[in-house]
Amino acid sequence: MKIETPEAKARPLTRKSVVKIIQDISNVNTLMWIGVAVVIHAVVIGALSVNNIRDWADPEGAKVRAEAEAKKDQPPAPASAAKSAPAAPSPEKTKAAAAKEPTEDEKMMEKRKDSPVMKAITEKAKPTEVPKEPHSDGISLDDTLNNK
């Protein structure tokens, strides 16, 4: 259903000529916004291409930067490698030394063994607290309430 307003009845539909359409497009306002869009695109593309432009303008510097990037990815050579290194200890000695020396985690656990949190974590369950048979959903509420 077509709704006709009084203004639509008073103004008959006319076809615009191609010349009129081109004149509407070529008005100054449209051209200004097209120019603004071109400038914005040029700025964004230029900002994202700074490294490529710098490499194109300075090929020798590009080679130096590429070598520095490749060296950055390689692990550093140990400084003692150039000097004569002492003989490496035997595997038996290193295993024995590692077994005697506690790790950082073991040291931390030893320091905090009397804290309530560590007791709660490392405490074993009493036989009466262990459920007889877990359900498919895990431990039921009845199992936790009946154990004393």
Q: What is the pLDDT of residues 30-63, one digit of tens each?
A: 778 889 999 999 999 999 998 888 888 888 988 8
Check residue 30 and report its DSSP letter. H
What mean pLDDT comes out for the span 84-111? 72
d(CA 35, CA 55): 29
Cβ of 65: how many Cβ atoms within 10 Å? 14
pLDDT at 68 over 70: yes
What mean pLDDT comes out for the span 79-95? 61
d(CA 99, CA 97): 5
Cβ of 143: how many Cβ atoms within 10 Å? 16
pLDDT at 134 over 90: no
Q: How many CA atoms lie within 13 A of 137 on its CB side?
A: 4
Give the residue carrying structure tokens 């590009």: 62
Question: What pLDDT is recorded for position 36?
Answer: 94
Question: What pLDDT is recorded for position 16?
Answer: 78
Question: What pLDDT is recorded for position 111?
Answer: 85
Q: What is the pLDDT of residues 70-83, one digit of tens each?
A: 888 777 666 655 55
Single pTM value for the model: 0.30
| Contacts by residues 138-142 (CB-CB < 8 Å, ≥ 24 positions apart) | none
What mean pLDDT comes out for the span 4-27? 72
Check residue 79 and report its DSSP letter. G
Question: What pLDDT is recorded for position 37?
Answer: 96
What mean pLDDT comes out for the span 86-112? 74
Backbone angles phi, psi at 60, to 5 degrees: -65, -40
Percentage of the chain modeled with pLDDT above 70: 62
Q: Break the chain into its structural domains and give their ranges.
A: 15-72
